Amino acid sequence: MDRVAALTNQERSELFELTSSKMNLPGAAVEKDFWVCWVLKQLFGSTELSPQLLFKGGTSLSKCYGLIERFSEDIDLILDWEKLTDEDPYEIRSNTKQDLFNKDMKALAEGYVKDTLLPLLQSELGQICNASIHPDRAGSITIDFPGSFESDYIKPSIELEIGPMSAMIPHSDVRIKPYCADVAPQLFSEPTTQVRAIDAKKTFWDKVTILHVEAHRPEDKQQQARYSRHYYDLYQMINSEIRNEAMNDIDLLKTTFEFKKKFYPQGWANYKAAVAGEIKLTPAAYLSAILERDYAQMEEMIFGDYPRFTDIMQTISQFESELIEAVRKS
């Protein structure tokens, strides 16, 4: 991959255009996919960065496990919290002390990302890409890559969302490669790279907890943009073999809800009810309309089949009933 990253902008553009034509994919998506893979190579190929990071989220579902047909967008990373504190994060605390701990960890992580991770990462990126702290999110890093294509939805930058407040197990070592390596393998001396990624069944339950929170979101609390991707991701996983693997580990779901309750408390999220089996995944009518509009804008990011929004919601609703029964029986 380093060989392709070192090509001229024109040479890379020709490679991405060829891949776009051969695979019938948007050029901007092919280009971003390459840079996502290359950045992951720099992260997990570094002896200093790799031991303290884990790859998670929707992009891992696509690149590591092939469970979704959604283009790589941003990179979610877990930062080992042992880099930040000697305290036991799982210690039982009062609500007030837990809130203080969560805020302290957030501040420590933001400082660590800025003062330690950012310089290390920029050193790995060299002169090819530029890394900077996101202007609105102190714990995130924005990487600007040399883009050759214009797109309303796909930006020539990658956001690294880095946080310590995530469980680091279960995880596995997985190999990934960019789409253009399949089209022009002769240009790659190293077409794949190894990353440490959270197991897919854990991400399955992470998506379930996200949808449960959104289903309880009050109308006066605005949802973040591009959230329809979580519904698409869960829909795809429900229709895959990972569904059974996850359903055979209901304890992992309960642990995930308990983790969210401790480290991401929301009074209206109703985590306690979820652990007891009162799980809700289908959004309120007002939110469903917002999600449907967002999903229509996301079409450019989905390759392969583009499921109808109504089909996604129907599948999730049916799964919700199945999941409630399984949790109550566990």
Note the pLDDT tens digit of each residue in 103-132.
Answer: 999 999 999 999 999 999 999 999 999 999
Dump pLDDT digits (tens) for 286-327.
Answer: 899 999 999 998 887 888 789 999 999 999 999 999 999 999
Q: How far out from the chain centre does Cα 284 lie?
A: 24
Distance (Å, whole) CA 121 – CA 129: 10
Q: Retrieve residue 295's tokens.
A: 């999903």
Dump pLDDT digits (tens) for 189-238.
Answer: 999 999 999 999 999 999 999 999 999 998 888 777 788 999 999 999 99
Is the distance from CB of 236 to CB of 200 less than 8 angstroms? no
End-to-end CA distance of the chain: 46
Query: Between 96 and 266, whose confidence is greater?
Result: 96
Q: How far out from the chain centre does Cα 9 lie?
A: 28
Dump pLDDT digits (tens) for 28-40.
Answer: 999 999 999 999 9
- What is the pTM assigned to this prediction? 0.91
| Alpha-helical regions (H) of the chain | 2-5, 9-23, 27-44, 58-63, 95-112, 118-125, 180-183, 200-215, 228-238, 242-247, 250-263, 271-275, 285-297, 309-329
Total count of residues recorded for the chain: 330
pLDDT for position 296: 92
Distance (Å, whole) CA 324 – CA 74: 32
Dump pLDDT digits (tens) for 59-94.
Answer: 999 999 999 998 767 899 999 998 999 999 999 999
SS (H, E, C) 107-135: HHHHHHHHHHHHHHHHHHHCCCCEEEECC
Distance (Å, whole) CA 172 – CA 167: 13
Distance (Å, whole) CA 61 – CA 228: 16
Mean pLDDT in the chain? 92
pLDDT for position 213: 93
Dump pLDDT digits (tens) for 135-186.
Answer: 888 889 999 999 999 887 788 999 999 998 787 788 999 999 999 999 999 9
Give the Cβ contact number of residue 280 at 10 Å.
17
pLDDT for position 314: 98
pLDDT for position 265: 87
Is residue 253 very low, low, confident or very high in pLDDT (cuts 50, 70, 90)?
very high
φ, ψ dihedrals at 47, nearest 5°:
-70, -20
pLDDT for position 98: 94
Average pLDDT over residues 252-271: 90
